[in-house]
Amino acid sequence: MAILDILHFPDPRLRQRAVEIERVDDDLRALIDDMFATMYQAPGIGLAATQVNVHRRLLVIDISQEQNQPQVFINPEILERQGVEEMDEGCLSVPGFYERVQRAEQIRVRALNRDGETFELEADGLLAVCIQHEIDHLDGKLFVDYLSQLKRQRIRKKLEKQRRLGLDEAAERDRHAEPVI
């Protein structure tokens, strides 16, 4: 299994709309396994394929504390939404920031599982929030889009600065590294 690189806001690849998956095969199941390994290591409770630069409609979720209840959603569709609730959300593509977002309180979802079988699920609480957050990723949308423009810009600037500092540190390390002969 491989740990995949997670794209960070404001990377424009996070804005790409993912396409429907036509065949559930062993290659897709290998990607699913890599996505779980990446999500568990991060750690996170959800991951959409878009975040690992794969623009196909696939997401994985595990909201259990023990990381032992993996859930796979291929071509997920929200069939019904009810109520409104507000919860703090984080995102592995927007590391270090948690903000309150309003979403539907209860949803009914249809998707395919890792064997390509259709299932339907009613979700509420954290699971409902997480499914909506991950489906947004597949549509090129991020939780920061629900915030004010000012807050979004502040987050973008902080992450861009962190990225520049990270690149500077890496360049500095390279300058002091032993030459490879």
According to DSSP, the residues that pair with 11 across neighbouring strands are none
* Residue in the shown chain whose Cβ atom is closest to Zn ion: 91
Decide if residue 131 touches ligand K1U (CB under 6 A): no
Q: How far is the CB of 77 from Zn ion (least distance, A)?
A: 19
Distances in Å between the Cα of 5 and the Cα atoms of 21, 114, 122, 172 are 21, 22, 31, 22
Decide if residue 24 touches Zn ion (CB under 5 A): no
Q: Residue 118 in contact with residue 112, Cβ under 8 Å?
A: yes
User: Running DSSP on this structure, what letter comes out for residue 66?
Assistant: T
The item of ligand K1U, Zn ion, none sharing an interface with residue 90, based on CB under 5 to 8 Å by kind, is ligand K1U
Annotate each residue in 90-119 with x if it binds Zn ion (CB under 5 A) or - if it does not, as one string: -x----------------------------
Report the Cα–Cα distance between both ends of the chain, in Å, rounded: 32
The single residue of 66, 99, 134, 160 carrying the catalytic annotation is: 134
Q: What does the block give as tokens for 151?
A: 């807050």
φ/ψ of residue 150, rounded to 5: -65, -50
| Binding positions for ligand K1U, 137-156, rule CB under 6 A | 137
| Binding positions for ligand K1U, 41-80, rule CB under 6 A | 43-48
The item of Zn ion, ligand K1U, none sharing an interface with residue 45, based on CB under 5 to 8 Å by kind, is ligand K1U
Binding residue for ligand K1U (CB under 6 A) from 35, 52, 58, 91? 91
State yes or no: is 134 an active-site residue.
Answer: yes
Q: Residue 79 in contact with residue 108, Cβ under 8 Å?
A: yes
Give the span between the Cα atoms of 7 and 9, in whole angstroms: 7
Contacts with ligand K1U by CB under 6 A lie at 43-48, 89-93, 129-130, 133-134, 137
